[in-house]
Structure 1
């Protein structure tokens, strides 16, 4: 008989005798266990009173032997009246090291654009102490030096990453704030495997003195040399400032002025007809000249700058603002334009200067007005578009009520129609600027198709206009004057053709396409460049046979690319030579908006309360913020 059956029989008999209950009450083991737990003392007492020595003795022996062989550990029951929820013991939790705390603090300061003095605030110290008792927080000088070291480490990784790239493009611009001037530079490249664009910030360095072309050239040259990318930059995109234009005209790759000036000097000297004897006699005379005076001439060899690209968005903004004013030469247009915008300007001024006026506009129009800003692209279009939208959604009555409440002359139907036409004309301009100022999914090849479609849209809009035809004429003339050289650049035409999205579908001008295709055939490397190393007997006979084979291979690959119906970017991977040339031509950006975004972040960091911040500390914190993918704070 097993222990369980014997113990059950003994205790069952004892319980039945003591409690005098029916046998079915304890027929199951679970019921027996419950009763056993509560009535054990009564069972023992009953056994003693009723004198069952043989059963009690058997039960004691069995329980003792079982407890000695198998001991079960049961959790102690909580005291009566206390909660059963377990408490977390923090005394044994893992402590964070001082190094990790310092990294976390530095990440908070850099990515949050916090001042260095935040580590000296008592509230910040209390926060760290609450999270990690007895923790030591770095001081402000330690934080400053840590950020400087982190910036050096980030730059090393950035230089290593760009060393593996063959083609790089940059954008640059100048920025003045808090009585200090800075030059900002960003770098961009296309990954040769995924064809994704990568963008980084290279510098936001203080400029001292006048922003002459020589100062800008020296700053650009130094920064390019610091990152070891001078020979990799294909183009640098800037705005249309005269100092930038002159810097790249003199020190850029074009080298236009030097050769032309030197040729003119030779032609005007009149000494080219001297006979040989006179030349030999003159050679015997040695003239000495100071080197400093020669360097002051500015021969273009002091600095080396890449090829220059004017910002397309800046040019379009000049067309929509400066060139558009030439439409006022038409008296009818000038009359309605000035009357309309004078009333709009009064409305914009009221909404910006008075809180009561802003509340009145919000209640009547359900929207606030947008005030134009001369330094913002598309600002005038967005302001007019908002007025047209209010009239369309809320009706003319909403604008009439606002003008009556603010005591402003009401826009008449002719002026409202003029605003509608103005919005329709400027909408394609604004869309083109938005497309070209992008950074992630934009290449240089988007420039010419965007300009071509813009001109086509303006041509389609013009016949339906009643008041604003002179405006369209002025814009079209501005586009022609400012983009004529860009529209005829074979390299930019080829860049558009080498994008699968466009190929040759973006224009019907065969002359334009021929320029681009000829450039591609001339620049494209053969599909198998090493095939010519294995010369045959025919190659020995024909000295120019390699030119023929290379031309045939290039033409065959180009025809295959143009014949594919697919328009996704991965199509380029099928044609290696096409892909390599496309990467080189489409690495640059058509606009310098990336540098403007750098300055936007810099403005958040260089706040009025931090106007005394050292320029090197400012640049270090800004570069770590913008290039956080090249530094691990963990």
Structure 2
């Protein structure tokens, strides 16, 4: 017996369904691509193969594998005619419209963040013309115009989406990269949410002065600050060589906090303070470390120093208080009482605002104006119910309308700009020499189209 893995069936119409496993002097052993079973047939007759195919339900076979062998023969005549017809059909190139070709070129440039000048490359033009001889390849100017039109459409769609929300969080890290700092801000295009924007930035000194002048209230990127704690500040313990043996224990809390703040599971501002307090609590609870006491002390001091403002920020405490996972359980009694008062005050403000709107829209009864009846406050009861509610999922917010509004307002911002930096990593080598002439406007257009799944 001889095994021949390169042998093909002598009947072309069956090659779609069977592949040859081995051959003998008189028979061929094949593997069925449908049922994955082996069958044997004579070299001079395909009847066994035909019978096997006919056993399957014709409708199922049509849906999954196309027409049967017999149907192929009836539709196209003899097997020779069928083979010629198939070869002719596959040899004819499918004609594409010029608009489709233009769109495919735009997709290629945007998806791969290519230079616009790639369409002027002779080899690129030859490639397109070889596949579609009648095609006209876009020049650079036409490409830029088409990208601009599509960008405007995508931008209008994004703005329409943002108009429906009350609070927006953005990052300015990309604007300040590679010493390309400008005084313009994203709010120029988002005037309708200009007063509800939180900026999250790294802790670079180049951001300090610009934010005082041009940008709204901003938060330092917590992940970047913790990286400084773990790298720059941790070097203070570098003089003690033996500490490395226990460094993993000392660094565990910092690494865990970084995973939480840089991840996408807890992208809420209310996560920051509970994470920092848990980090400090872990550092204080460490037993005396024979070799790593300098490192543990340096980390604890660095977190306390670098996050001193964030640890005492009342707004961050309020953001955590309206997060179902944390609420007030992680606070000291003194801090808990202060945050509870702040939360009740926020709810009363919301209630007053809603009552004023209702009175304005519905009008006031003359008798009510005379008696000046005070509205019945439900804020305190909602806060107490919220604090005592055992639920920890964000879906629980639906039961507390005022708390939900405060949650959206306080937790739309994120404690770290790391998720946004992953977005801008799609720009690839955008700051390299070969892309140096790419304007900021064109980079923005490519990035928006690419990240919004334009290329489909």
Q: TM-score, normalised by structure 1?
A: 0.53
Contact 2:202 2:221 in 1 (8 A): yes
How far 1:497 sits from its partner (Å)? 1.4
SS in 2 for 1:529: helix
Query: 1:160 aligns to what?
Result: 160
Structure 1 unaligned blocks of 5 or more? 1-73, 184-206, 208-217, 252-302, 329-333, 338-414
Q: TM-score, normalised by structure 2?
A: 0.72
CA 229–169 in structure 1, closer or farther in 2 if over 3 Å, else same: farther
- The higher relative CO (CA closer than 8 Å, separation ≥ 6) is in 1
How far 1:587 sits from its partner (Å)? 0.5
CA distance in 2 between partners of 1:522 and 1:584 (Å): 15
What value does the CA root-mean-square deviation take over the aligned residues?
3.2
Query: 2:184 aligns to what?
Result: 219
Matches within 5 A, 1:25-40: none
CA 102–540 in structure 1, closer or farther in 2 if over 3 Å, else same: same
SS in 1 for 2:169: strand
CA distance in 1 between partners of 2:176 and 2:301 (Å): 33
How far 1:491 sits from its partner (Å)? 1.2
Query: 1:362 aligns to what?
Result: none
SS in 2 for 1:511: helix
CA distance in 2 between partners of 1:503 and 1:84 (Å): 73
Among candidates 295, 301, 304, match of residue 471 of structure 1? 295
How far 1:93 sits from its partner (Å)? 8.2
Query: 2:342 aligns to what?
Result: 519
Among candidates 304, 308, 315, match of residue 218 of structure 2? 308
CA distance in 1 between partners of 2:76 and 2:405 (Å): 75
Structure 2 unaligned blocks of 5 or more? 1-73
How far 1:537 sits from its partner (Å)? 6.3
My pick for the range that moved more, 313-322 or 529-538, is 529-538
Query: 1:435 aligns to what?
Result: 260
CA distance in 2 between partners of 1:586 and 1:146 (Å): 38
Matches within 5 A, 1:84-103: 84-85=82-83, 86-87=85-86, 89=89, 95-103=95-103
How far 1:501 sits from its partner (Å)? 1.5
CA distance in 2 between partners of 1:593 and 1:77 (Å): 64
How far 1:168 sits from its partner (Å)? 0.9
Contact 1:439 1:589 in 2 (8 A): no
Deviations 1:90-133 (A, max 9, x none): 69987432112211111111011222233344554454345545
The reply to whether residue 111 of structure 1 matches residue 111 of structure 2 is yes
How far 1:311 sits from its partner (Å)? 1.7
Contact 1:170 1:233 in 2 (8 A): no
CA distance in 1 between partners of 2:432 and 2:438 (Å): 9
Query: 2:180 aligns to what?
Result: 182
How far 1:480 sits from its partner (Å)? 1.7
How far 1:322 sits from its partner (Å)? 3.3
Query: 1:567 aligns to what?
Result: 392
How far 1:512 sits from its partner (Å)? 1.7
Q: Report how many aligned residue pairs link the two structures.
A: 374
CA 76–312 in structure 1, closer or farther in 2 if over 3 Å, else same: closer
Query: 1:61 aligns to what?
Result: none
Structure of higher CA gyration radius: 1
How far 1:539 sits from its partner (Å)? 7.7
